[in-house]
Amino acid sequence: MDMTYAGAEAKVARRKRSAIARYAAPYLFISPWILGFLFFTLGPLVFSLTMSFYDWPVVGERTFVGLDNYRSMLFDDPQFWESLWITVKFAAIYVPFNIIMSFLLALMLHNITFASGFFRTAFYLPSVISGVALVTIWSWIYSKEYGLLNFMLSLVGIDGPNWLGDPNLAIVAIIIASLWGLGGTMLILLTGLKAIPKELYEAATVSGVPGWAQMLFITLPMLGPMLLFTFITSIISAFQQLTIALLLTKGGPLGSTYFFAMYIYDNAFKYFDMGYAAAGSWVMFIIVLALSLGVMRWSAAWVYYEGEVRQNDGEGHA
Amino acid sequence: MRKTLLYSALILLSALFIAPFYWTFMTAIKNTADLYQFPPVFWPSEWHWENFAAAWNKQPFGTYLTNSVIVVVFSTIGQLISSSLVAYGFARFRFPGRDPLFIVLLATMMIPWDVKMIPLYMEFNMLGWINTLKPLIVPAYFADAFFVFLLRQYIMTVPMEIDEAARMDGANAFDIYWRIHLPLMMPALVLVGTFHFMNAWNDYLGPLIFLNDQSKYTLTLGLSMFKGLHEVDVTSIAAITVILCLPPLALFFIAQRYIMDGAVGSSVKG
């Protein structure tokens, strides 16, 4: 009698344990990300927001200063506005060029079959290498006397300028070097083009829709989600621009390539004013967030989601 | 006719993307006399392969290489394990909070690194990790949002019936992950591994901020030091640049099929 009772109890206990295990299992699987999110994302975000309200040197007393960091940044620090303006200028040129050129290249690659693999690879190649290597390569392309670029210009009779020494040209030089890495964007758009059903074009051609209209009413709307994605990632990377400027021009000449990210970097790791730097990074975060949300809202007018009908495609079981 | 035009344009444009590589290689291998010629020398008069060894010995690049390899190997292992586990969790279970958590995961991709840079430095400083390789390795064991997204999309293309059949045979959730999904995910894992390898190998800002001693430097940091140390030593800089580019280029050619097959793009569709 007792034996049976104990057996039944063990059975119930086992079932209970397996129910808990079943309930906990998904959380166990995603726990690496949850922990990482807490320690390497949410924690740092809260931490840096806190720091931005303090006078916070790396060593020594920290004092609460309220909004003083933000106030002096906005009203007493010309470098803040200058570096922000340089970054906005850079983004305003880099982002559209990056997307338009990637789109055109993707379109060209989409229309060929022979050697398409070769060309895809060629355009993607610069994206594979380190920013440090990229900068070294470009530093002697831009060299005034021995540079490849000025040699090319001399062939068509132009006396090449001092690319990295001229305050007006240095930023152009950085934009060109950055655009050299458009391979990733191009690849995303190319995959997007390949995913558009051919029947749409066939039907349009049969109905006598001209090529430009097919582009306008089929290609661009169908590519919408991809264009939106590349738009937002380009904005983010434009605002984060640091490696190239840090190594190619060191912010010069005459501060003409002193990007916002470099301003934050210098405040943190050169002047060790962590609170002030944290305030700067939050200003950047808010700008990037506002721009991304703005683009997303604006995109509702032109992005068409094919998948919108089939929601909950991730049917799962516990 | 239209095709001819298209191909001419493509050849011209691709030259713009390849030429700098050619130029760097030639700079590394030229002798000094060829270096400062105008018009530039496109085909060196002599090939100086020994330039590579000479450049390598000008700084402790052997140490840098060891450090880079340690970072890349250990962080790639961590990234593959953690991202695939998390992706499986999001793709195959229904649990309270799943969808909001997934949206948070996607949103983290939009946070500029600069916002996290300073507190991470302080955090690692408190842990005593500054000037060690840990800040460059440990975070990889906590799953990257982009890779989780990519792998989740991949798992969701696998029919649920396969999981159910395995469960009938008595497999638990971990068995299903380990024995079924991990092997099926292989192409996507190659892609994640390749991308992570490249990020880790090419990273400059991380080592710049978290490392101080030359004995801890990675290759990218060593190369950037060259610029300050020997402003005119163009040959050595070019030689090290070539060496630094080789592993990611080689890996790219090996994994090319997976990268170009558009796993990147299809993951973006959501």
Residue A113 has pLDDT above 70, yes or no: yes
pLDDT tens-digit profile of B100-131?
Answer: 999 899 888 878 788 888 899 989 998 999 99
Return the residue matching tokens 């390898």: B197
Closest CA to A134 of B198, B194, B217: B198
Min Cα distance B18 → chain A (Å) is: 6
Determine the average pLDDT of the residues in A75-84.
Answer: 93
R_g of chain B computed on alpha carbons: 23
Domain residue spans of chain B = 56-228+245-268
**pLDDT (0 to 100) of residue A1:** 43
Min Cα distance A253 → chain B (Å) is: 17
Residue B64 has pLDDT above 50, yes or no: yes
Determine the average pLDDT of the residues in A269-290.
Answer: 91
Q: Place A103 in a pLDDT band, splitting at 50, 70 and 90.
A: very high
Which of B1, B6, B8, B10 should we substitute to test contact with A (largest number of A Cβ atoms within 10 Å)? B10
Residue B267 has pLDDT above 50, yes or no: no
Closest CA to A98 of A218, A291, A232, A280: A232
Residue A2 has pLDDT above 80, yes or no: no
- Token output for A40: 């390497």
Contacts of B89 in chain A (CB under 8 A): 26-30
**pLDDT (0 to 100) of residue A314:** 41
Contacts of B54 (CB under 8 A, 6+ apart): B236, B239
Min Cα distance A293 → chain B (Å) is: 11
Determine the average pLDDT of the residues in A33-55.
Answer: 92
- Output the 3-class SS for chain A: CHHHHHHHHHHHHHHHHHHHHHHHHHHHHHHHHHHHHHHHHHHHHHHHHHHCCEECECCCCCEECCCHHHHHHHHHCHHHHHHHHHHHHHHHHHHHHHHHHHHHHHHHHHCCCCCHHHHHHHHHHHHHCCHHHHHHHHHHHCCCCCCHHHHHHHHCCCCCCCCCCCHHHHHHHHHHHHHCCCHHHHHHHHHHHHHCCHHHHHHHHHCCCCHHHHHHHHHHHHCHHHHHHHHHHHHHHHHHCCHHHHHHCCCCCCCCCCCHHHHHHHHHHCCCEHHHHHHHHHHHHHHHHHHHHHHHHHHCCCCCCHHHCCCCCCCCCC
pLDDT tens-digit profile of B131-177?
Answer: 999 999 999 999 999 899 889 988 888 888 999 999 999 888 899 99
CB B155 within 8 A of CB B181: yes
- Measure CB to CB from residue B115 to each of A129, A184, A285 and give the nearest one: A285
pLDDT tens-digit profile of A159-215?
Answer: 888 888 888 899 999 999 999 989 888 888 888 888 788 888 889 999 888 888 888
Average pLDDT, chain A: 85
d(CA A1, CA B215): 72
Average pLDDT, chain B: 86
Contacts of B252 in chain A (CB under 8 A): 124-125, 128
Min Cα distance B215 → chain A (Å) is: 19
Min Cα distance A314 → chain B (Å) is: 6
> Of the ranges A9-13, A27-31, A37-41, B222-226, which one carries the lowest mean pLDDT score?
A9-13
Q: Note whether B47 contacts A: Cβ–Cβ < 8 A.
A: no
> Of the ranges A141-150, A272-281, A301-310, which one carries the lowest mean pLDDT score?
A301-310
Domain residue spans of chain A = 1-44, 72-305
Q: Place B265 in a pLDDT band, splitting at 50, 70 and 90.
A: very low
> Of the ranges A16-20, A79-83, A182-186, B227-231, which one carries the lowest mean pLDDT score?
B227-231
Q: Which residue of B has its CA nearest to A292?
A: B110
**pLDDT (0 to 100) of residue B269:** 41
**pLDDT (0 to 100) of residue A17:** 64
Closest CA to B23 of A64, A195, A164, A180: A180
| Letter string b/e over residues B196-230, b meaning 16 or more CB atoms within 10 A of that residue's CB | bbbbbbbbbbbbbbbbeeeebbbbbbbbbebbeee
Backbone angles phi, psi at A54, to 5 degrees: -120, 155
CB B44 within 8 A of CB B29: yes
Contact A316 B173 (CB under 8 A): no
Q: Note whether B250 contacts A: Cβ–Cβ < 8 A.
A: no
Determine the average pLDDT of the residues in A220-224.
Answer: 85
Contacts of A60 in chain B (CB under 8 A): none
Q: Which residue of A has its CA nearest to B260?
A: A187
Q: Which of A226-230, A245-249, B78-82, B185-189 has the highest mean pLDDT?
A: B78-82
Those of residues 153-182 in B touching chain A at CB distance below 8 A are 156, 160, 163-164, 173, 177
Determine the average pLDDT of the residues in B172-190.
Answer: 90
pLDDT tens-digit profile of A57-78?
Answer: 877 888 899 899 999 999 999 9
d(CA A191, CA B129): 41
d(CA B51, CA B240): 10
**pLDDT (0 to 100) of residue B129:** 95
Percent of chain B at pLDDT exceeding 90: 39
ipTM: 0.84
Instruction: Tell me the angle at which helices A43-51 and B113-126 cross, rounded to the nearest 10 degrees.
Output: 90
**pLDDT (0 to 100) of residue A233:** 85
The one-letter amino acid at B42? F
**Which numeric CATH code is attached to A72-305?**
1.10.3720.10
- Token output for A109: 């690659």
Contacts of B17 in chain A (CB under 8 A): 122-123, 125-126, 180, 183
d(CA B45, CA B51): 15
Percent of chain B at pLDDT exceeding 70: 91
Give the SS3 label for residue B37: coil
Contacts of B268 in chain A (CB under 8 A): 188, 191-192, 225-226, 229
d(CA B195, CA B189): 10
The third-level CATH classification (topology) of the domain covering B56-228+245-268 is: MetI-like fold (1.10.3720)
Which of B142, B151, B246 should we substitute to test contact with A (largest number of A Cβ atoms within 10 Å)? B142
More confident residue, B178 or B109: B178
Residue A246 has pLDDT above 70, yes or no: yes
Closest CA to B76 of B247, B217, B238, B242: B247
**pLDDT (0 to 100) of residue A117:** 81
pLDDT tens-digit profile of B51-63?
Answer: 888 889 888 999 9
The whole-angstrom distance between residue B201's C-alpha and the CA centroid of its chain comes to 6
CB B149 within 8 A of CB B267: yes
Tell whether the torsion through CA atoms of B58, B64, B66 and B69 is positive or negative: negative
**pLDDT (0 to 100) of residue A32:** 95
Q: Which residue of B has its CA nearest to A44?
A: B119
